[in-house]
Structure 1
Amino acid sequence: MRTNPTGRQLRLGTELRKLRERAGLTATEAGQLLGSKQTFISNIEAGRAGVSAERVRTLACHYDCSDTALVEAIAAMTGDRKRGWWEEYREILPGALLDLAEVEHHAVRLRTAITVHIPGLLQTTEHARETFRLVVPDLSPPDIEHRVSFRIKRQAVLFRDAPAPYVAVIHEAALRMQFGGPTIARAQLRHLLEMSERDHITLKVLPFAAGGFPGSGQSIFYSSGPVPQLDTVHLDQSHGPVFLDAEAQLGKYRVLLDRMEAKALPPEKARDLIHSITQEL
């Protein structure tokens, strides 16, 4: 029995619970269909107990779920039993940060929109260090370095073979925030320009001239799963990451990101603006 399930294990259980509830079955009734007790179903849905891909398919059949793509995507979530690199930080960093790295690792597409910060996946080491120095309450020097190394290791998703497409919308305010001073800021902007040249990365900028826009003031990270029902929204809050996966919430943030991307400068003009700001430093 697991005592500390990962975010992915919890999500697997959540999706199975959604299927059961749509079928109008209680956990007791679902257990009876499998010849098991209610506690067996409850433990699976809470992420406390593992479940095989074949058992997922059996449950989906009992739940009269005809969405084959969804069932197979959920079944695939049972197969990755290797420890991810993020597990080495299990006793060092908050579990929600590890869940974020796990979500990124399994995503088929990544989208983000951010107002006053550079997205973590696009930060330089020096820029990341300066942002963590501003965390409240203050982090100790070792804690800062742990968070910096974790953030940089997360960026491996952008460099692996066949990386997921990544779309980032950054507000001009974030480009002009000089974390650590002009030298670090200049290096950060040059790094953005270099990363924007990669085929799988689309970098857009919302200029001040664009005025107001939907989602202003929010930091949104959207991770697409193999099917839309398994997408995840990550909101970065002062108290830590918040994850959303309800269908209504996913739909809302898809629309927000679509509208923000539509209002942002396209990649070529975005690079021109970044280059111009770099020259001013």
Structure 2
Amino acid sequence: MNFPERVNEYRDRLTRSDRVLLDEILAHPAEAPFWRGGDVAQRAGVHAAAATRLAQRLGYQGYLELRDDLRRDREDRLNGAGDRFREELRGQDRVLEALLATELDSLAAVLRHVDQAQVDEVADLLAGARTVYLFARGNAGVLADLLDGRLRRFGMRAVNLSGPGREVAERLLAMSESDVVVSFAFRRAPRNLTDLYAHAASVGARTVLVTDTLHTLDPGPTTVLSAPRGHQEGFSSLSVPMMIANAIVLTVAQRHPDAVLPALDRLDGLLADFD
């Protein structure tokens, strides 16, 4: 396993200090592979021995082995958006064909990371929720919009937490333990995501994160659906998380037809009146 895969595999055993260290490492992908264990611990504000303990919890013999893994990952990864596109386009005369091959590979790999039991769990959470709150920023916003529309067609109450932080805060006033938050975030956590998780935890609401390599949030979500979106060093599309979102929607309908199908019938009648 490489470093991101180890973080995903052992995420549940990580301590708060481990997560602080990982945040520091992941926030500096170009520099971290050259830091000593003491360096990263000092930057994260934790005891020097914490870096070794983190490495061992991730299955390494020690921090040097973890750092070697980071260096190998760095050699295969480009950091800037411009560099990623340059690499993706270099030598590509048939962009459509190459993109299709990458997307198919990524979609085929989803079942190695997310299984139906996890999707069932999330679908049941949504079906039993009083309100489903949706959160995404940037390009991921289309995924929240997609889920918002699909859930409303099922007769479910969905609140899309778009807009600036003040508007998000106002919409969260009514959140309770009967609610669920579904969030989409990739590479780095968007602003207010951990604030949202902290508030949800304070009122007892469950939280779900659909992501690729984002595993070290503090506070974190109660459920994570994580699958790579393509080659880390290249262009990463939304096909994989969109498929996961669609799988959740279809699973809600498949597992809760008594609630979903009558709502769709009522929608047909309303559409006939309003079209």
TM over 0.5: no
Shorter-normalised TM-score: what interval? under 0.3
TM-score (norm 2): 0.27
More helix by share: 2
